[in-house]
Amino acid sequence: MPTLEGLVGLLLERYGPQGWWPLLEPVGPEREWRCVYRPGDYRLPAEPLQRFEIGVGAILTQNTGWPGVIRALINLRRADRLAPDALLDETAAAEIRQLIRPSGYFNQKQLRLRTWAGFFNELNGRAPQRSQLLVLNGIGPETADSILVYAYGQAQFIADAYARRIVERCLGGIWSYDGLARAMQAAFRWQEEPERLRTLGEAHALLVEHGKRFCRKRPLCRECFLHDGCLSAAE
DNA sequence: AACCAGGACGTGA
DNA sequence: TCACGTCATGGT
């Protein structure tokens, strides 16, 4: 599996479309919520509040497992706190810290959510620049790119820890965030615009999935279907 | 029972 | 630039 394009192709063939970014949806009578992926019908979020929710999820998932993030998101939603003004309410800081507790780092993240909420309001419906996001406290490259890709439809590649680990193991080399992001974007530059966005978004989601299942810190190379084409497959 | 998660930031070399 | 400590809860 010599190329980035080939790697993404194999992952897509194996796992299928991932339908990121997952959003909360109401279910049942009332006040019940679940996290929904949409493989099949890909589209950007239509509602401004959904774009905001993506930023919230991206912040809450920093170095944290998604199950805890879901619990935190549902806590916020049920308390009517999953909205910019509700997170900016100074008198609610302690309450918000409790609501997002399951996602860890709750002191930091409450402040980061407040920062995102204030910036989102300033945007007033317009799309943010990457540089604008990166100067915000608590929004680094991965969080910024997640927002740009999944909320605003900018065709970027999110070269997170999983992506770099898998590419380094399978294809070799040492990759920086920006270096891998550029390389992946170059690999799919031949695609037309709506399709390329979907591909880069899927590529990130697929790499996360593969990183969770097989290419962990201690990899499960025995059972990995990329074994034969992988440079560093242990046995 | 350690180890790790869909990072970001501050610090010091 | 780069390595390292810090932040916190929950799942394996």
Segment-wise mean pLDDT, segments of 10 residues, chain A, 235 residues = 92 97 91 92 93 98 97 98 98 98 98 98 97 98 98 97 96 94 97 96 98 95 93 76
Is residue A141's beta carbon less than 7 angstroms from any atom in nucleic acid strand C? no
CA atoms in the 13 A half-sphere facing the CB of A79: 18
Bases of strand C lying below 7 A from some protein CB: 2, 7-11
Residue nearest to nucleotide C9 (CA to C1'): A104
Residue A85 CB coordination number (10 Å): 9
- Nucleotide whose C1' lies closest to the alpha carbon of residue A106: C8
CA A33 / C1′ C2 distance in Å: 43
Strand partners, A212: none
pLDDT at position A233: 81
pLDDT at position A102: 98
CA atoms in the 13 A half-sphere facing the CB of A234: 10
Is residue A74's beta carbon less than 7 angstroms from any atom in nucleic acid strand C? no
pLDDT at position A30: 75
pLDDT at position A15: 97
Please tell me the distance from the alpha carbon of residue A132 to that of residue A120, in angstroms, as a whole number: 11
pLDDT at position A31: 76
Q: Which residues contact A195 (CB under 8 A, 6 or more apart)?
A: none
Please tell me the distance from the alpha carbon of residue A212 to that of residue A219, in angstroms, as a whole number: 10
Residue nearest to nucleotide B4 (CA to C1'): A217
Is residue A98's beta carbon less than 7 angstroms from any atom in nucleic acid strand C? no
Bases of strand B lying below 7 A from some protein CB: 3-10
pLDDT at position A232: 84
Is residue A232's beta carbon less than 7 angstroms from any atom in nucleic acid strand C? no
pLDDT at position A2: 79
pLDDT at position A24: 97
pLDDT at position A235: 62
